[in-house]
Amino acid sequence: GKPVKVEVQGPQGKTFTQAEARLSSFGGFWLDLDLPGDARLGDYVIRATLEHGTFTRAFTVEEYRAATFEVSGKAAQAPVVGRGVVQATISASYLYGAPVRAGEVDVAIHSRPRQVQFPQHAGFAFLDERKYDAYNDESEDSQTLVTETHVALDATGTAALAVPISPDDVHTDADLLIRASVVSPTNEVISKSFTVPYFHSKRYFGIKAAGYFADVKQPQKFQVLGVAPDGKVLDGAAKLTVTRRDWNCVWEDWGYRGSYQCKDADQTILSKTLQLVGGKPAEFEFTPATGGDYWVVVEGATDKQEAAAAAMQVYAWGDGGGSWRSTDSLSLDIVADKKAYKAGDTAILLLKTDLADATGLVTIERDGVIEKRLITLSPTAKHISVPITGNYAPNVYVSVVAELAALATTAAKTEALIREPEERGMRGYMSSSLRTSAIVLAALVELDPKNAAIKPLVHAVMKHRRASRYLDTQENLYSLVALTSYARTVSAQPTSVTVALGTTALLAGPLTGKQRMRVASAPIPATGGAVQITPKGEVHYNVELRYRRVPAALKGESNGLTLQHEYLDDAGKPKTSFQVGDLVRVRLTVQLKDHAHHLMVSDTLPAGFEALNTRLATVGTTGIKQTQEWGTYREMHDQRVDFASEYSSQGSYVHEFMIRAIAVGTFVRPPTVAELMYEPAVNAQTALDLIEVKAR
């Protein structure tokens, strides 16, 4: 319901109209825009201004040209089976009735994959599911060019089209999309598209089953039907095979990473020939002895039948048997017992995982989380039930995060983050051990607030925060959400704290309301003193010691990387004496022991010098030497020069810039510092020294 101010600008940048809309519950808005008949042609810009930002989109207004003729197309025969000829008639006539004579027709034929269905045989699946087993993302909306041709309209405005098609041109059942573009003598183009069904085979088998799931040691009944492309039932023989598939997967470590290597082991459970007679389906049944993944395949009894096979995957459960293919994606597949549901149904979802005695987090989502609950996976229970309500229309999404119990147990024992395997390789997806730990913590707080792993995870997240900064906003967001959720669960419990420095009380009282977070600070005397913190209840605290070094104590340091600072003359040799007006090249060299992210280098200038920024028109470039490295960003300030690199490989990096002596005197050259922005423990600095600048 929030307001949106909408402005439409015309091709010349002038405001065309202004309006106000309201956001819907899905975050969108709409409005009607009336264009007058004399509206300018060109590009228009829609600018929508919301509370926290402005968004723009563009559209184009072109002059409409009314059509002067129309095109029609009709296939002479349908469908095309196997090897045949696409025959069609294309006609074009002016709107006042006369034919378009001497017109040219450009024809393009594309194939679009189609699942064969016969409405008169409801419940039968005429589909070989094996082709989707390895290619889950195969698109059925893609189009492939089959051929192009050209014909001419005769004196009656008609052209005959005959294009041979074979299985070599179209490799699967498809719709042949025929697009005929007629070009009139005045160069006007009107197109017409129509469709011709293409069947790759002369015979199709269909399988009908009670569902995709079966109970162990319970007979499962099936029906098999054979039909022609026109839907007519065909008698004859069919070969039936039922196999059980298991996976043998091992992890192979390649040094820099690893991968699962899997081999499938198929076991034939049933093999027989079915006889389809009397125009009726043949029936058979099999009883899965153990749980697992079964394939029911029906195909032609001989290779000469030119029959399309049907294959159905059936999952048996009830005894904990079966194995699933392991993947490197750290994910599991969810299989539904039906393709679609109606209100009042209960969806049964199978989790394809080898995990046992594990806890899983189930969320039902659409425009946010509708429902969430914890489940326990066991060898005999690897499925979930979802009652379908009318509010779920038109669809919902079900997600499962498994193995929460194992993750929580590990965290409780070690008080460490839940480590992501191959964490460095997951950085591009903004995934990390801290982010995963925070998500698990938030889930446990919400669904299992008495879980023993909650407090150790809180300590681990807080400890990581103190040890190093968050790498990105994903870590920051999920950590704050998790810690805030945990804080709400303990806020109702009375807590208090007493803080003392030696015998002096600094703070004492309850931690409630606006005083839930309290800060105490005090100078430490030269003789030192002990800080005593006495909490009552669950209290989390952090102690910081701040100090200022005397100049003599600012020595060079190296913690995980090395840093060198040099002043050079025009010849590139070290410069030790300075006069007003001298140009000095500053060279900063960083040596990295390992790959690093977000390397920051800052050089504070002595007071008697200024940096030369050649981006300014008032600074010449004669005699100026500086580095221009890819992936490195430079900022020049009055008092310092900063360099930042998003990613740096192991090795040596050199940053150079020029400064000029502008004043006489003896000046302090502060330490140059370098550190990893989100791992400040990896740092280095040069020592403090003095520089004298003399008059020229």
Cα first-last separation, the chain: 71
pLDDT, position 622: 58
pLDDT, position 415: 66
CATH number of the domain residue 254 falls in: 2.60.40.10
Residue 15 lies in a domain: yes
> Which is more confident, 131 or 55?
55
- Domain termination site, one of 490, 510, 534: 490
pLDDT(510) > 70: yes
- Domain termination site, one of 379, 402, 425: 402
Lowest mean pLDDT, pick from 129-143, 203-217, 324-338, 433-447: 129-143
| 88/176 same-domain check | yes
416: CB partners within 8 A, 6+ apart: 460
- Report the distance separating Cα 28 and Cα 96, nearest Å: 45
* Closest-CA residue to 658 (of 599, 563, 572, 600): 572
Lowest mean pLDDT, pick from 86-95, 239-248, 330-339, 614-623: 614-623
| 73/152 same-domain check | yes
What proportion of the chain, given as a percentage, has pLDDT over 70?
89
pLDDT, position 45: 94
pLDDT, position 471: 63
| 189/219 same-domain check | no
As a whole number, mean pLDDT of residues 278-283 equals 94
Lowest mean pLDDT, pick from 149-163, 422-436, 529-543: 422-436
pLDDT(590) > 70: yes
pLDDT, position 641: 92
As a whole number, mean pLDDT of residues 436-464 equals 83
pLDDT-derived band at 620 (thresholds 50, 70, 90) equals low
Give the 3-state secondary structure of residue 530.
coil
Q: Which residue has tokens 């192991």?
A: 650
Range of the domain at 684: 554-694
pLDDT(418) > 80: no
* CA separation, residue 473 to residues 435, 438, 447, 467, 478 (Å): 10, 13, 25, 17, 8
CATH number of the domain residue 353 falls in: 2.60.40
- Report the distance separating Cα 539 and Cα 519, nearest Å: 13
| 639/657 same-domain check | yes
| 651/566 same-domain check | yes
Give the 3-state secondary structure of residue 579.
strand
Full DSSP string of 558-573: EEBEEEEEEEE-TTS-
| 615/669 same-domain check | yes
pLDDT, position 407: 61
| 154/91 same-domain check | yes
CATH number of the domain residue 603 falls in: 2.60.40.690
As a whole number, mean pLDDT of residues 563-574 equals 92
- Domain termination site, one of 153, 168, 199: 199
Tell me how long the chain is: 696
pLDDT(34) > 50: yes
Which amino acid, one-letter code, is at 537?
A: G
CA 407 to chain centre: 23
pLDDT(27) > 90: no
pLDDT-derived band at 574 (thresholds 50, 70, 90) equals very high
Cβ atoms of 618 and 605 closer than 8 Å: no
Residue 582 lies in a domain: yes
CA 190 to chain centre: 41
* CA separation, residue 529 to residues 58, 225, 557, 696 (Å): 68, 90, 28, 54
pLDDT, position 343: 92
| 371/273 same-domain check | no
Residue 276 lies in a domain: yes
Cβ atoms of 178 and 194 closer than 8 Å: yes
- The token duo for 491 is 């806020």
| Mean pLDDT rounded to a whole number for the chain | 85
Cβ atoms of 602 and 639 closer than 8 Å: no
Residue 501 lies in a domain: no
> Which is more confident, 466 or 405?
466
pLDDT, position 268: 94
Residue 40 lies in a domain: yes
As a whole number, mean pLDDT of residues 122-127 equals 93
CA 624 to chain centre: 46
pLDDT-derived band at 613 (thresholds 50, 70, 90) equals confident
As a whole number, mean pLDDT of residues 617-640 equals 70
- Report the distance separating Cα 531 and Cα 529, nearest Å: 7
| 578/688 same-domain check | yes
pLDDT(218) > 70: yes
Q: Which residue has tokens 């919400």?
A: 446
CA 79 to chain centre: 42
pLDDT, position 434: 83
Backbone φ and ψ for 260, nearest 5 degrees, come out as: -80, 135
- The token duo for 541 is 């605290």
Cβ atoms of 81 and 231 closer than 8 Å: no
- Report the distance separating Cα 302 and Cα 306, nearest Å: 9
pLDDT(74) > 90: no
3-state secondary structure 227-252: ECCCCCECCEEEEEEEEEEEEEEEEE
- The token duo for 176 is 């042949």
121: CB partners within 8 A, 6+ apart: 206, 225, 227, 231
| 270/310 same-domain check | yes
pLDDT, position 629: 61
* Angle in degrees, CA 520, 524, 525, rounded to 5: 145
80: CB partners within 8 A, 6+ apart: 86, 165, 176, 196, 197, 198, 199
pLDDT, position 447: 79
The most confident of the ranges 139-153, 159-173, 319-333, 601-615 is 159-173
* Closest-CA residue to 624 (of 659, 573, 588): 659
- Give all strands of the β-sheet with 504-510 in edge-to-edge order: 504-510, 496-501, 531-536
Q: Number of helices (H) and strands (E), helices first, in the chain?
A: 5, 43
* Angle in degrees, CA 215, 218, 222, rounded to 5: 90
Residue 308 lies in a domain: yes
Residue 506 lies in a domain: no
3-state secondary structure 155-189: CCCEEEEEEEECCCCCCCCEEEEEEEEEECCCCCE
Which amino acid, one-letter code, is at 25?
A: S
- The token duo for 510 is 């309850």
| 193/230 same-domain check | no
Q: What is the pLDDT of residues 143-198, one digit of tens each?
A: 899 999 999 999 999 999 999 999 999 989 999 999 999 998 877 889 999 999 99
CATH number of the domain residue 189 falls in: 2.60.40.1940
pLDDT(366) > 70: yes
| 352/415 same-domain check | no
> What total number of domains does the chain contain?
6
Sign of CA pseudo-dihedral 659, 660, 663, 664: positive
DSSP character for 76? Answer: S
Where in 487-595 does DSSP place strands (E)? Answer: 496-501, 504-510, 531-536, 557-559, 561-568, 578-579, 583-592
pLDDT-derived band at 229 (thresholds 50, 70, 90) equals very high
Residue 498 lies in a domain: no
Full DSSP string of 6-18: EEEE-TTS-EEEE
